[in-house]
Amino acid sequence: QVQLVESGGGLVQPGGSLRLSCVASGTIVKFNAMSWYRQAPGKERELVARIFSGGSTNYADPVKGRFTISRDSAKNTVYLQMNSLKPEDTAVYYCNADPGWTSYWGQGTQVTVSS
């Protein structure tokens, strides 16, 4: 069993930055990919960014050029650096880990962008 714990969310003004962290613990396996998703009130959960085991990444169009996903394999941690935040980035952000046969989720961390 794998547990994912997110941290780093909070309230930030438009144009500000936040860095989210997701630490994996438990029975650590090699993940095909680790991802960040977000879900805003009244909307479906959507993919924000993904990093594959080989290091390649992809991003949703709304966050390209503003968000960066990275990982520290030694610490079993994946990060999401969010810059130039906008009010429309407000959502609960979830970490996801995909070992290939299932999908693990964290509990989410709230990000609110407001003046």
At which residue do the structure tokens 């046969």 appear?
101
pLDDT tens for the chain, 115 residues long, are 889 999 999 999 999 999 999 999 887 678 889 999 999 999 999 999 999 999 999 999 999 999 999 999 888 899 999 999 999 999 999 999 998 888 999 999 999 999 9
Residue found by looking up tokens 């990093």 in the block:
51
Tell me: the pLDDT tens digits for 50-59? 999 999 999 9
Cβ neighbourhood burial of 38 (10 Å; 0-12, 13-18, 19+)? buried
44 vs 74: CA distance, rounded Å: 33
